[in-house]
Amino acid sequence: MLAKSYHAVGIQEILAAVDVPKGSFYHYFDSKESFGVAIIEYYGEQLANAIRKKVTDSNYSPRQRIVEYFLAIRDYYALNGCGHGCLVAKLATEVADPSACMRDALKREFDKWTELFAACIKEGQVKGEINSDHSADAMAEFLYTSWEGALVRMQVNNDLSPINHFIDFAIDRIIPKP
């Protein structure tokens, strides 16, 4: 799905790739859509764990934790190419409108990630390291929404410039030092 898209991949192709019989698939999932929700939830939890690990790392200050997270992702794309991007961002642009249950799953995951950043931003604000002119929730929402947009643009451009622009702008404007 990451390489092709949700709609371009059929259940039979997925099952053949992982060598799972069709009956086994339908034992766990009643449709491709319910499988899509499970993918979103699984991917979402994996990403939440990665975010949590970075934004709670006591080796760095709260602001630096956020910066380090985005730099690490940029380094990942530098090594692995810009064509794939984020599976959830890709699914959001493809399935959020036609599938209410997938849209709800996407929203839950985006909200979970944003809350992790908000907690880190709030900690940075309390410590006087991140500007307190705006609420941590609003800053996190803007930060993560902008990040997802940069990932989509990275895929379109097939280069890191949108990610680099995002990081430069986020550091200086979204989470500036007071």
Whether residue 169 lies inside any domain: the answer is: yes
Q: Has residue 141 been placed in a domain?
A: yes
Q: What is the pLDDT of residues 81-94, one digit of tens each?
A: 987 777 887 888 88
CB atoms within 10 A of CB 1: 19
**Rounded to whole angstroms, how far apart are CA atoms 142 and 135?**
11
The two structure tokens encoding residue 64: 């630096």
pLDDT digits (tens, 9 = 90+) for 3-50: 788 888 889 998 898 898 888 888 899 999 999 999 999 999 999 999
Within a domain: residue 108?
yes
Q: What is the dihedral of CA 6, 10, 12, 17, to 10 degrees?
A: -40
Per the structure, the count of domains in the chain is 1
pTM listed for this prediction: 0.90
Query: Does residue 47 contact residue 113 with C-beta atoms inside 8 Å?
Result: yes
Range of the domain at 168: 37-174
Task: For 106-120, write each residue's pLDDT tens digit.
Answer: 999 999 999 999 999
3-class SS letters over 24-56: HHHHHCCCHHHHHHHHHHHHHHHHHHHHHHHHC
Quote the CA–CA distance of 45 and 55 in Å, as a whole number.
15
